[in-house]
Structure 1
Amino acid sequence: MTFKRSFAPVVDRHTRILILGSLPGDASLRAGRYYAHPRNQFWQLTGSAIGCDLAAIDYDERLATLLQHGVGLWDVVQSGKREGSLDAALREVEHNDLAEMVQKAPELVAIGFNGATSARIGRQILAPSPHLTLIDLPSSSPAYAAMPLAEKTRSWLALRPFLDQRMG
């Protein structure tokens, strides 16, 4: 099995929503970018939530646009062993310090879990908090094809009420 590590978080002090994946897949790790697989629907889904065509702009501008809207990115898994990109293959997992991240983001009000593995791990790490809303989102991964894009989009729109209101 191959040892893999997550990327650094994309957050700033104005982050209101933190979207957590599990661990980047092989295409993302090769590219050194979040959600780099061409069939991953993350940029479409998040773009729908914030009202911006993220897929049409370059990667650095995508990240800047997310931050402008109060959206940050990270993963629940810091490192682990995995062949391929499927979450079911994860072994010897070490978690990112989500509790510390929550403390460092004073405006954080919601966490969106991108997929079931992210939600399962993230909810175990984060104690219930009256100040945080935890939202389970359908996976944007191309491996999760059971739900049509339109239905996924409706679910991801649950992020809208937590967006940075200065942008709206």
Structure 2
Amino acid sequence: MERLFHPWKPVYDENSRILILGSFPSPKSRENNFYYGHPQNIFWKTVAKVLNEEEPLPTPEERRKFLLNSRIAVWDVLESCEIIGARDDSIQNPTANDFSEIFHHASIQKVFTTGKKGSQLYERLCYPVNGIKAEYLPSTSPANRALQAKPEFLEKWECIKQYL
């Protein structure tokens, strides 16, 4: 397996109040050059619905503007890893990102992790370093379609509003 490195910097500014972390960008996201870039990933639709906003156009610039206007920071737990395709269960030799710059420069009130693997990796690699607990959010990945069809999926995402 080839070692991959995270291709982008985090999206945040001094007004960002929550930090949402995935595990590592999928091949489709890397191809589309931005977070949650797979056309079937419902991250953008979910966040827009929860915030009663229009879903941003699928360009990095519009999505970045949407996040910053919503006071949401986005990055991923991992700086690098070995992974097969988009399969989080195949992740080996993970190295975590350093979140200290975000915590120092932004007004982060709460950290959220999306998906089980991202949550496990954060708990194992990041929490012992920064002491900041993360709250789990169900994955917006196409691999999680069964749960996404249930009302509790959106209900779980509703919690982000209280920190914005």
Q: If the TM-score is normalised by the length of the shorter chain, which range does it land in?
A: 0.7 to 0.9
Mapping of 1:109-120 within 5 angstroms?
109-120=109-120
RMSD between superposed Cα atoms in Å = 1.9
Residues 45, 152 of structure 1: 8 Å contact kept: no
TM-superposition CA deviations, 1:67-114 (whole Å, max 9, x none): 111101000000111121010011111100124432332x11011111
Take 1:35 and 1:148, find their aligned partners in 2: how far apart are those partners? 15
Q: 1:60 to 1:32 in 2, by over 3 A?
A: same
Deviation of 1:9 after TM superposition, in Å, equals: 0.1
Does residue 102 (structure 1) correspond to residue 103 (structure 2)? The answer is yes
Name the TM-score, length of structure 1 as normaliser. 0.86
Deviation of 1:25 after TM superposition, in Å, equals: 0.4
Stretches of structure 1 lacking an aligned partner (at least 5 in a row): 164-168
- The percentage of aligned residue pairs carrying the same residue is 28
Q: 1:133 to 1:53 in 2, by over 3 A?
A: farther
Q: Which has the higher strand share?
A: 2
Residues 48, 157 of structure 1: 8 Å contact kept: no
Take 2:50 and 2:133, find their aligned partners in 1: how far apart are those partners? 16
In the comparison of the two structures, how many residue pairs are matched?
160
Residues 25, 85 of structure 1: 8 Å contact kept: yes
Stretches of structure 2 lacking an aligned partner (at least 5 in a row): none
- Runs of 4 or more above 3 Å deviation: 55-59
TM-superposition CA deviations, 1:39-72 (whole Å, max 9, x none): 1111111112222122556431221121111101
Find the counterpart in structure 1 of residue 51 from structure 2: 50
SS for the counterpart of 1:45 is helix
Find the counterpart in structure 1 of residue 61 from structure 2: 60
Find the counterpart in structure 1 of residue 146 from structure 2: 146
Take 2:138 and 2:41, find their aligned partners in 1: how far apart are those partners? 12
